[in-house]
Structure 1
Amino acid sequence: MTDTPDVPQTDAPAAGEGEQKPQIQTRMITQFVRDMSFENILAQKGIKGDPTPEVQVQVSVDARKRGADDQFEIITKLNITSKTKEAQETLFILELEYAGVFQVSGVPEQQLHPFLLIECPRLTFPYVRHIVANATREGGFQALNLEQIDFLQLYRAQLAAQAKKQQESGEPVN
């Protein structure tokens, strides 16, 4: 048996432990399709041959405060276009706006905007992926299984685009 030094036991909190950080709480109240459109161009035009598809996905996220305290509506917008690789003829277009209503508390004010535009869309993304897969399959194509979206990178890109726009227009950058 080895000897261990005696460590005095105290009930006093260590330095810095006495400060209580606010507990972050996120609750999804509801989620729903705000708007959706699927257009099967292939069926309308009758593109010949066996086209090899090339899919482009554009994603944006928006947040707005709702009437109730600590409630926010987060909208994930997707614009998905599939074209043939060879002739760049459009096969289908899918536009989707998917909303989630969240009750968020305990997030410091300066961190609320990134929290809403990064963490909340991560929670609704599995449902968005499911809707896209079903819509493309039901629309006559192979089910499109979206890859994971990096909402942090998307947020950073939106901030950079806003800063560039402000710089070009001569507005002061916050």
Structure 2
Amino acid sequence: MNQSLTANHLDVGVGTGFYLEHCTFPATEVRLGLLDLNANSLEVTAKRASRYTPEVYQADILQPLPEQSQKFDSVSLNYLLHCLPGNLETKATLFDHLAPWLNPGATISGSTILQAGVPRSFVAKRLMHVYNQKQIFSNVSDNLDALQSQLSSRYTDVELEVIGCVALFRAHSNPH
């Protein structure tokens, strides 16, 4: 994750702030934005990342976002996509909603758990089945080809790496 961070960073789907607490920003002066639908997650993460005095945005990433006058140079979406409802084609609207918040050439990075077209252990299969039944996950049809297609249709320099059933991705917004 460190190689994808800039000193002007937006974290989407903040969870507990674990990754932000363990990352290294490339500068001492950091502008950090936190965006999530869940107020509790935002509160926990804002406290955990308080040394950066984060900007907090409570919004649904699957809906158009409010205008943002000061744009970001990097955005991370770690372990978010597989929790959103729908398939990767519908979930990918979040990339369109983020576009007005990003500077030209911004780095987009993240990770997601795929279900189709990747190796899954017995335990992973069972856990995904249970999590999908409980609607914690919504990744029944999420696969590497769909992720590649959605990223490539919007970004340049798309990089994808699969480790087990987790896809790590990185790309850049249009430089113009």
Q: Same fold (TM over 0.5)?
A: no
TM-score by length of 2: 0.24
TM-score by length of 1: 0.24
